[in-house]
Copies of this chain bind each other. A is one copy, B any other.
Amino acid sequence: MNMRTAEFETWVGRTLQQVEDALEQWVPSDAPAGLGEAMRYAVLGGGKRLRPLLVMATCEAVGGQPEAALRAACAVELIHAYSLVHDDMPCMDDDVLRRGKPTVHVQFGEAQAMLAGDAMQALAFEVLTPDGEQVPPALQARLCSLLARSAGHAGMAGGQAIDLASVGHPLDEPSLRDMHRRKTGLLLQASVLMGAACGETSPVTWAALADYGSAIGLAFQVVDDILDVTQDSEVLGKTAGKDQDANKPTFVSVLGLDAARRHAEELRDHAHQALAASGLSNAARLSMLADKVVERDS
């Protein structure tokens, strides 16, 4: 490990701890009738936390407000985690394993899992709108706007609807890209843009960061599809080979494995170019996060 990598890994470790501590504080342990327990099970102590890392790295790159970024990081992770809870339920993907643990509905029952997901989505917007002076109200509104639009019908939920409808139906490559842009891409991009919103950016920088976020959003999914066929469940912490079994279209099924790998690398290069075009002098961590997305093995 060279010094640059070592410094990056130290930053990752420190940031993950900060996010974990904040989630530990903000996800209630005292919500009624076991709801808090289910919420905490779903979001604490697991996951790669890529979205929070993107928020925090982008905020640092633009010299933004760290308190706002930490809230944005936790909010976007809550949205991501709630979507996994609902996605794993029997009426959706019917999955029993997530992050190496039984899924929330297996552990707490379907009704509690649905409510926990619902409450986590609401909590994301609670976290973004604190009383008091820590986060300026206009920034609170901007963060809510970015998050809601990436999570809703035009974004994540819409992508999941396409995903549902696509089982057993061959999607062509443009449709597959559109699905993934919505399903995972827009929330990853929103993570970057929420970080950017915590500071001041020129329109050029904003557009470059949006471009970066879009590229790594798609790269993330391409790599997910590759890992689904090349890794086993134990490494992934979730059921491997699932998309293939369900006859779901993936980048691997549409492009083939080698072309999918090349595509992931092209997207990483695109992300690096976008950072170069951003005019930001402090984007090394964003650059390394792009590498991390493509080179991960789980």
Taking beta carbons and an 8 Å cutoff, which residues of A are in contact with B?
A: 28, 31-36, 39, 82-83, 86, 89, 91-92, 109-112, 114-115, 117-119, 121-126, 128-129, 131, 137-138, 140-142, 144-145, 147-149, 151-155, 157-162, 164-165, 182
Contact = CB atoms under 8 A, between A and B. Distances in A.
Nearest to A129: B145
B182 A32 contact: yes
9 contacts: A35-B157, A89-B114, A92-B111, A124-B148, A125-B147, A128-B144, A129-B145, A137-B138, A141-B144
A89 B109 CA distance: 14
Contacts of A125: 125, 144-145, 147-148
A115 B164 CA distance: 10
A111 B246 CA distance: 16
A158 B118 contact: no
Given A31-B153, A114-B114, A122-B148, 18 more contacts: A28-B153, A32-B159, A32-B162, A32-B182, A33-B165, A34-B165, A115-B157, A118-B118, A119-B158, A122-B151, A122-B153, A124-B148, A129-B141, A137-B140, A137-B142, A140-B145, A141-B141, A141-B144
Contacts of A165: 33-34
A137 to B, nearest CB: 4
**Copy number of this protein in the oligomer?**
2
Contact of A121 (B39, B121, B126): B121
A43 to B, nearest CB: 12
A121 B262 CA distance: 38
Contacts of A36: 153
A155 to B, nearest CB: 8
A92 B115 CA distance: 9
B138 A31 contact: no
Nearest to A125: B148
Given A137-B138, A148-B122, A158-B31, A164 B112 contact: yes
Given A36-B153, A161-B33, A117 B119 contact: no
A174 B158 CA distance: 41
Best-surrounded residue of A138, A141, A159 (most CB of chain B within 10 A)? A141
A123 B138 contact: no
Contact of A154 (B28, B110, B128): B28
Contacts of A121: 118, 121-122
Which 5 residue pairs are nearest across A and B when measured between Cβ atoms?
A122-B152, A91-B110, A129-B145, A125-B148, A137-B138
Nearest to A142: B137
Contacts of A152: 119, 122-123, 126
